[in-house]
């Protein structure tokens, strides 16, 4: 399918995004076919109007589509119509989104989470694996997908790690000595040999480790530790960014370390730092309880 090929090789979307974009295109074409009572081809897409776009989105909202999902749906439709050569695009505006501020874990809680997950492992090498992986997410600010994309031939690691992020962009991130030591300990215990074609992080049966396994383990650990249900593997990346900003890192440097395409994605952490300071103020100031 040309649309899938375009997403994969021209736009370099992730497998998850490719599935979502293809599903959106299929829903739109199906809706238009039912709405117009005709077969929808590329020429028909060029006659798509704003009223039809609004009717499609209204139907999707009636099925329970939330604001964030509706915004992504519109983005996927615009990409699909652009690929089909539709110009100009129907000027449909997405819903207003309220930006959430990620709440970071404290350094102690980040390490406690990693230890709680690892100590629940069935085998010593899996314990070492989980500890190394979660410390890597927190110590270097990686997305879980980036960590799991590491290959066996990248080991041994130095003080700097080359990571492949979204849209196949590479960046360099620091590797703390304690994190490197945890990674080396995992390799010593791992029963599967590392090679160019193997993942660095193995699953229990020797295949690639699934992100869902780690997410499930983190859910269990956060319950045992009494942490908020927003504590996920990605929260460790938020914590990395927030702690660096709190210690004086500038936004441009943080943008490079996180692999953000635009500075606006990084600026959310200025709100995180302000929220942290407000929490400290409310806890410590004798008259803070009267503040709105």
| Residue 45: both structure tokens together | 């897409």
Entry pTM? 0.61
Long-range Cβ pairs for the range 103-109 (8 Å, 24+): 103/228, 103/230, 103/235, 103/238, 103/272, 103/275, 104/235, 104/238, 104/239, 104/241, 104/242, 104/243, 104/272, 104/276, 105/227, 105/231, 105/235, 105/236, 105/239, 106/239, 107/239, 107/243, 109/225, 109/227
CA distance 223 to 241: 24
Of 222, 243, 260, 276, the catalytic one is 260
CA distance 277 to 282: 9
Residue 192: band (very low, low, confident or very high) from pLDDT cuts 50, 70, 90: very high
Supply φ then ψ for residue 63, to 5 degrees: -85, 0
User: Does residue 78 carry a catalytic annotation?
Assistant: no
Print burial letters for 155-167: b (CB count within 10 Å at least 16), e (below 16): eebeeebebebee
Would you state the pLDDT for residue 286? 55
CA distance 254 to 277: 19
Of 166, 171, 215, 219, the catalytic one is 166
Note the pLDDT tens digit of each residue in 68-80. 678 778 888 999 9
Would you state the pLDDT for residue 97? 55
Query: 242 and 273 in contact (C-beta within 8 Å)?
Result: yes
Of 60, 143, 222, 238, the catalytic one is 143
Number of other CB atoms surrounding residue 150 within 10 Å:
21
* Of the ranges 97-106, 195-204, 247-256, the best mean pLDDT one: 195-204
User: Does residue 169 carry a catalytic annotation?
Assistant: no
Would you state the pLDDT for residue 210? 95
Of 180, 237, 243, 276, the catalytic one is 237
User: Does residue 166 carry a catalytic annotation?
Assistant: yes
- CA-to-CA separations, 128 to 98, 111, 176, 182, 188, in angstroms, rounded: 39, 14, 17, 7, 9
User: Does residue 162 carry a catalytic annotation?
Assistant: no
Q: Which of 77, 120, 107 is nearest to 218 (CA)?
A: 120
Supply φ then ψ for residue 143, to 5 degrees: -75, 155
User: Does residue 285 carry a catalytic annotation?
Assistant: no
| Residue 271: both structure tokens together | 């709100």
Note the pLDDT tens digit of each residue in 219-253. 999 888 888 888 999 999 988 888 887 777 777 77
CA distance 280 to 282: 6
Note the pLDDT tens digit of each residue in 150-162. 999 999 999 999 9
Signed CA dihedral, 172, 173, 177, 180: sign only: negative
Residue with tokens 């509706």: 70
Beta bridge partners of 171: 163
User: Does residue 21 carry a catalytic annotation?
Assistant: no
Which residues are CB-neighbours of 248 under 8 A, at least 6 positions away?
none
């Amino acid at each position: 399918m040309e649309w899938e090929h375009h997403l994969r090789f021209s736009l370099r979307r992730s497998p998850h995004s490719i599935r979502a974009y293809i599903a959106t295109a299929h829903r739109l074409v199906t809706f238009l076919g039912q709405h117009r009572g005709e077969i929808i081809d590329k020429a028909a897409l060029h006659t798509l109007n704003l009223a039809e776009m609004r009717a499609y989105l209204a139907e999707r909202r009636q099925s329970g589509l939330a604001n964030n999902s509706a915004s992504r749906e519109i983005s996927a439709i615009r990409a699909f119509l652009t690929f089909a050569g539709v110009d100009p695009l129907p000027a449909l505006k997405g819903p207003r989104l309220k930006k959430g501020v990620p709440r970071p874990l404290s350094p102690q809680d980040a390490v406690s989470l990693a230890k709680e997950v690892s100590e629940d492992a069935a085998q010593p090498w899996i314990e070492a694996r989980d500890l190394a992986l979660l410390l890597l997410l927190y110590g270097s600010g990686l997305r879980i997908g980036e960590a799991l994309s590491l290959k066996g031939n990248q080991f041994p690691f130095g003080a700097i790690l080359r990571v492949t992020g979204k849209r196949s962009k590479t960046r360099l991130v620091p590797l703390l000595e304690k994190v490197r030591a945890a990674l080396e300990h995992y390799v010593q215990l791992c029963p599967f040999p590392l090679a160019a074609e193997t993942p660095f992080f193995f699953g229990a049966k020797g295949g690639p480790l699934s992100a869902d396994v780690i997410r499930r383990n983190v859910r269990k650990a956060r319950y045992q530790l009494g942490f908020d249900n927003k504590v996920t593997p990605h929260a460790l990346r938020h914590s990395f960014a927030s702690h660096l900003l709190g210690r004086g890192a500038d936004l441009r440097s943080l943008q490079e370390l996180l692999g953000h395409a635009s500075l606006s994605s990084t600026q959310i952490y200025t709100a995180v730092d302000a929220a942290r300071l407000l929490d400290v103020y409310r806890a410590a100031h004798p008259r803070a309880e009267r503040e709105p």
